[in-house]
Structure 1
Amino acid sequence: MTAFIDRISQLLTTAPLWIQSPIVIFGSVVICALLAVLLLRVVDILGAWTQRIGTSKISGKGQEANHG
């Protein structure tokens, strides 16, 4: 596996700049898109969680009855 990665990195470092640039830009866009999807998923989960907590406190759900 290391030899494969070394071969690819050697190929890219010896390639002309007009070949390196699109590869780096495309790779960056793909990685950033995947991270954006992950971040949006985390924000959606946290938003749903906080909305559920806020709704239960306002409506009185989840509170124990006072048998005092």
Structure 2
Amino acid sequence: MTAFLDWISQFLTTSPLWIQSPIVILGSVVVCSLLAIILLRIVDILGAWVQRIGTPKSSGKGQKPHHG
């Protein structure tokens, strides 16, 4: 695995800029997209959890009013 990563880094450092740029940009877009999906999932889970905490368990419908 280390040899493969060494080959990739050697290829990128010896390549001209017009080859390096699209590869780096494409790699950045892929990594950022994956991180965005994970972050959005975490936000959705936390939002549902907070909404569940803030919502009363019963809405009061069908209950007798308390007098007294």
TM-score by length of 2: 0.81
Distance of 1:34 and 1:21 partners within structure 2: 20
**Larger Rg over CA atoms:** 2
Aligned length: 60
Q: Which structure: greater helix fraction?
A: 1
Query: Structure 1: any 5+ residue segments left out of the alignment?
Result: 61-68
Distance of 1:56 and 1:38 partners within structure 2: 29
- Which string of whole-angstrom CA distances, capped at 9 and with x for unpartnered residues, describes residues 20-62 of structure 1? 00000000000000000000000000000000000136848xx
Distance of 1:53 and 1:41 partners within structure 2: 18
Query: Structure 2: any 5+ residue segments left out of the alignment?
Result: 61-68
Runs of at least 4 residues off by over 2 Å:
56-60
Q: Percent identity?
A: 78
